[in-house]
Structure 1
Amino acid sequence: MSEPRLQGLGPVLDADTRLIVLGSFPGVASLRAQQYYGHPQNAFWKILGELWGLPLAQRPYAERVQALREHGLGLWDVYASCEREGSLDSDIREPVLNDLASLRQHCPRLEAIAHNGGESFRHARHTRALGLPVYRLPSTSPANAGWSLQRKREAWAEVLRRHGVARP
C-alpha cells in the first residue's frame, strides 16, 4: 500500500525577491493550514521575527507573508509533490521537483538561494545551475534538535544580512 500523494504549497515570491529560502516539503501541520512553517514548534517565524524586530510568530499568516515580501525574502520548496506518511523528510518517497530553473524568470532581482536543511540542500546542484550563491542553513524544524535556537538564528542572520534581508 502506497502513501498518499501530497501536493506542496505555491511559491511566495515576486519581482522584488532578493533571497529565496527553499525548504524540502511542508509537514502535516503546514499542509493542513496551507501555510509555510505552520508547525508551532518550527523556529522559522521566530527567527525571522527576532532578526526583523517583529512578532511574526504571533501575527496572522497574511501579515507574515507581507513581511517576507517587504524584506525581499521568498519561500518555496524543492519538491512540488511527494508521497509521505507523517512529516519527516526521511519518509519522503517519489518526490517531484519544483521548476527551480524558473526562479530567475520570476525573480529578476534574485541574488542568492538558501536551503533550509539537508534534504533541501541535496538539490543544490539544481540551484547552483542558476549561477547564484547557494547556502545551506540549519533546518528550523523541531526535528533538528542538534542546533540550539541561538545557533540557528546566528547562521540565518549571517546569510540574510549578507543579502540585505536583515539589519546589519
Structure 2
Amino acid sequence: MQKASFNAVFDPHCRLLILGSLPGDASLTAGHYYAHPRNAFWPIISQLIDVDLTQRPFAERYTLIKQHGIALWDVVQQASRVGSLDTAIQAPQLNSLHTWCTELDQLQIVAFNGQTAAKYGSKLIPGYIKQVVLPSSSPAYTLSFNQKCHTWLTELAPHLKT
C-alpha cells in the first residue's frame, strides 16, 4: 500500500529539525504527526519545552513547537508499506532534505527519530549541520519512556529557543 508523508511543520527560523521516517497508520488516519496514543513523541516534547502538549489540538501543538524553534518532517516522501513498521518500508522516495535544510539559516541540529530515519536521511543533511540519532518514540521500540526521554532531552535541550 502506497503511503506518503505530511507537509513539514516549521518556522523558517527553526534551530532544531526532528525527522521521522514515514507516518504510521494511526497518524495517517488522523492526518497528524505522532497521533498514535502510545507514541512517546508528544509526552517527550512536552517535557522538552515544559508545556503539556498531550491534551491540546494538533494545530496548537504545532504552533507551540514552532515558537520553541522546533520543526518536524519525515525523511521518506512516499513508499510502499503494509502496516506501520519501518521495517516494512519498500521503494522509498525521499524528501529533498539537503536543499530544504540549506534554506533554514538558523538550523543547528537534525534529530532523527529512530534508526530508519537516520538510515535514509543522514546522507541528505548538509555536513555543517549536527546530526543525532535518537531512540524511536514509537511504541514498537521497547526502550522505557524514561530512557527515551532522558536521551532526547540531553541531546535537544541546548538547541531550543529560550
Deviations 1:110-166 (A, max 9, x none): 111000000001131222x34211000000000011x1111111111012222135x
In the alignment, which residue of structure 1 is the partner of 2:122?
Answer: 124
In the alignment, which residue of structure 2 is the partner of 1:39?
Answer: 36
5+ residue gaps, structure 1: none
**Quick check: 2:48–2:157 contact (8 Å CA) kept in 1?**
no
One of 7, 11, 14 as aligned partner of 2:8: 11
| 1:164 pairs with 2:151 | no
Distance apart, 1:107 and its partner CA: 1.6
One of 131, 134, 156 as aligned partner of 1:134: 131
| 1:30 pairs with 2:27 | yes
**Quick check: 1:79–1:95 contact (8 Å CA) kept in 2?**
yes
Structure 1 segments of 4+ aligned residues over 4 angstroms from their partners: none
TM-score in terms of structure 1 length: 0.91
Deviations 1:93-120 (A, max 9, x none): 1100000012234421111100000000
Where in structure 2 are the equivalents of 1:1-168 lying within 5 Å? 4-122=1-119, 123-127=121-125, 129-145=126-142, 147-165=143-161
Identical-pair percentage: 38
Distance apart, 1:27 and its partner CA: 0.2
CA–CA distance in structure 2, aligned partners of residues 149 and 44 of structure 1:
10
**Quick check: 2:70–2:160 contact (8 Å CA) kept in 1?**
no
5+ residue gaps, structure 2: none
CA RMSD of aligned residues (A): 1.3
Distance apart, 1:14 and its partner CA: 2.0
CA–CA distance in structure 2, aligned partners of residues 35 and 43 of structure 1:
14
Q: 1:10 to 1:130 in 2, by over 3 A?
A: farther
CA–CA distance in structure 1, aligned partners of residues 101 and 22 of structure 2:
21
Tell me which moved more, 19-28 or 104-113: 104-113
**One-letter amino acid of the counterpart of residue 152, structure 2:** W
**Quick check: 1:101–1:130 contact (8 Å CA) kept in 2?**
no
